[in-house]
Amino acid sequence: MSLIDELASQPGVMAAGEYAYRGDRFSYVGQLTEELARMASIMCRTTSMALHMQVDMLKEMGRDCGCAPAQGWSVKGKDYTVCVRANVFCFIDNKSNELNNIMKFLNEHIASDEGAMV
Protein backbone atom coordinates (compact mmCIF):
# COMPACT_ATOMS: atom_id res chain seq x y z
CA MET A 1 0.00 0.00 0.00
CA SER A 2 1.44 3.38 -0.97
CA LEU A 3 1.79 6.22 1.48
CA ILE A 4 -1.02 8.11 -0.24
CA ASP A 5 -3.32 5.08 -0.10
CA GLU A 6 -2.49 4.62 3.56
CA LEU A 7 -3.00 8.30 4.32
CA ALA A 8 -6.33 8.35 2.49
CA SER A 9 -7.50 5.38 4.55
CA GLN A 10 -6.88 7.14 7.88
CA PRO A 11 -10.00 8.14 9.81
CA GLY A 12 -11.12 11.67 8.98
CA VAL A 13 -9.16 11.91 5.72
CA MET A 14 -11.43 12.70 2.78
CA ALA A 15 -8.73 12.73 0.15
CA ALA A 16 -4.95 12.61 -0.08
CA GLY A 17 -2.48 13.27 -2.83
CA GLU A 18 1.00 14.29 -3.77
CA TYR A 19 2.44 16.67 -6.33
CA ALA A 20 5.78 17.28 -8.01
CA TYR A 21 7.42 20.56 -7.02
CA ARG A 22 8.01 21.15 -10.73
CA GLY A 23 4.24 21.21 -11.14
CA ASP A 24 4.11 18.69 -13.96
CA ARG A 25 2.31 15.83 -12.24
CA PHE A 26 0.16 14.83 -9.29
CA SER A 27 -1.67 11.80 -7.96
CA TYR A 28 -4.53 11.43 -5.50
CA VAL A 29 -6.87 9.03 -3.74
CA GLY A 30 -10.27 9.80 -2.21
CA GLN A 31 -13.31 12.00 -2.53
CA LEU A 32 -12.09 14.41 -5.21
CA THR A 33 -12.47 14.47 -8.95
CA GLU A 34 -9.35 14.51 -11.11
CA GLU A 35 -9.90 18.21 -11.84
CA LEU A 36 -10.35 19.12 -8.17
CA ALA A 37 -7.23 17.14 -7.27
CA ARG A 38 -5.32 19.03 -9.95
CA MET A 39 -6.55 22.34 -8.52
CA ALA A 40 -5.71 21.25 -4.99
CA SER A 41 -2.19 20.26 -6.00
CA ILE A 42 -1.64 23.63 -7.73
CA MET A 43 -2.80 25.47 -4.62
CA CYS A 44 -0.82 23.35 -2.18
CA ARG A 45 2.32 23.54 -4.29
CA THR A 46 2.12 27.35 -4.53
CA THR A 47 1.66 27.79 -0.80
CA SER A 48 4.50 25.37 -0.05
CA MET A 49 6.89 27.21 -2.32
CA ALA A 50 5.93 30.58 -0.86
CA LEU A 51 6.43 29.26 2.66
CA HIS A 52 9.82 27.85 1.80
CA MET A 53 10.83 31.26 0.51
CA GLN A 54 9.51 33.08 3.56
CA VAL A 55 11.09 30.71 6.05
CA ASP A 56 14.42 30.72 4.21
CA MET A 57 14.34 34.50 4.39
CA LEU A 58 13.63 34.36 8.11
CA LYS A 59 16.73 32.25 8.45
CA GLU A 60 18.67 34.65 6.22
CA MET A 61 17.99 37.36 8.77
CA GLY A 62 20.82 35.77 10.67
CA ARG A 63 18.91 33.60 13.08
CA ASP A 64 18.70 29.87 12.85
CA CYS A 65 15.46 30.02 14.77
CA GLY A 66 14.28 26.47 14.24
CA CYS A 67 12.00 27.32 11.38
CA ALA A 68 14.01 26.40 8.28
CA PRO A 69 13.66 24.46 6.13
CA ALA A 70 9.86 24.50 6.29
CA GLN A 71 8.40 21.03 6.77
CA GLY A 72 4.76 21.71 6.04
CA TRP A 73 1.67 23.72 6.86
CA SER A 74 -2.03 23.42 7.49
CA VAL A 75 -5.04 25.64 7.02
CA LYS A 76 -8.13 25.12 9.11
CA GLY A 77 -11.39 26.11 7.47
CA LYS A 78 -14.91 26.08 8.82
CA ASP A 79 -15.58 22.41 8.07
CA TYR A 80 -12.36 21.13 6.55
CA THR A 81 -8.63 21.35 7.14
CA VAL A 82 -5.93 21.04 4.52
CA CYS A 83 -2.64 19.55 5.73
CA VAL A 84 0.58 19.48 3.76
CA ARG A 85 3.86 17.84 4.67
CA ALA A 86 6.65 18.07 2.06
CA ASN A 87 4.80 17.38 -1.24
CA VAL A 88 1.97 15.34 0.27
CA PHE A 89 -1.46 16.87 0.96
CA CYS A 90 -4.70 15.73 2.50
CA PHE A 91 -8.17 17.09 3.24
CA ILE A 92 -9.57 16.37 6.69
CA ASP A 93 -13.16 16.63 7.89
CA ASN A 94 -13.06 18.80 11.04
CA LYS A 95 -15.95 16.85 12.56
CA SER A 96 -13.69 13.81 12.81
CA ASN A 97 -11.38 15.47 15.37
CA GLU A 98 -8.49 13.57 13.81
CA LEU A 99 -6.16 16.51 13.13
CA ASN A 100 -3.57 15.49 15.71
CA ASN A 101 -3.53 11.89 14.51
CA ILE A 102 -3.15 12.88 10.88
CA MET A 103 -0.36 15.34 11.61
CA LYS A 104 1.37 12.62 13.65
CA PHE A 105 0.95 10.18 10.77
CA LEU A 106 2.48 12.67 8.32
CA ASN A 107 5.35 13.38 10.70
CA GLU A 108 6.13 9.71 11.15
CA HIS A 109 5.80 8.65 7.53
CA ILE A 110 7.40 11.50 5.61
CA ALA A 111 11.12 12.18 5.84
CA SER A 112 12.30 15.61 6.90
CA ASP A 113 12.24 18.11 4.08
CA GLU A 114 15.78 19.28 3.39
CA GLY A 115 14.49 22.23 1.40
CA ALA A 116 15.62 21.11 -2.07
CA MET A 117 12.05 20.98 -3.45
CA VAL A 118 12.79 18.49 -6.21
Partner 1 sequence: MSKLDNLMQLDGALAAFDFSSSGELQDSKIADGAEIENDVLDMVCHVCVANGAIATMQARGWEKMTQMEGFYPIQGFSLIGFEWTVIVSDSIGVIIKNDKVDYDATYAVLES
Partner 2 sequence: MIKNLLAEDGVMAICQFRDDGALVEGYGVMSDDMLPKLAKFAHDYKRMVQGNADQLAMFTQMSGWTPPGGWLVKGEVWAVCGVSNLVCVIDLRETTLNPVMKALHEAANW
Give the binding site for partner 2 (CB under 8 A): 39, 42-43, 45-47, 49-50, 52-53, 56-57, 60
Q: Which is nearer to partner 2, 59 or 96 (CB)?
A: 59
Choose the contact partner of 52 out of partner 2, partner 1, none; CB within 5 to 8 A by kind. Answer: partner 2
Q: Taking a C-beta distance cutoff of 8 angstroms, is the pair 44, 23 a contact?
A: no
Q: How far is the CB of 62 from partner 2 (least distance, A)?
A: 12
Choose the contact partner of 100 out of partner 1, partner 2, none; CB within 5 to 8 A by kind. Answer: partner 1
Q: Please list the helix, strand and coil fractions of the chain in percent, rounded to the nearest 5, in that order.
A: 40, 25, 35
Q: Which is nearer to partner 1, 1 or 100 (CB)?
A: 100
Helices (H) and strands (E) in the chain, counts: 3, 5
Maximum CA extent, the chain: 44
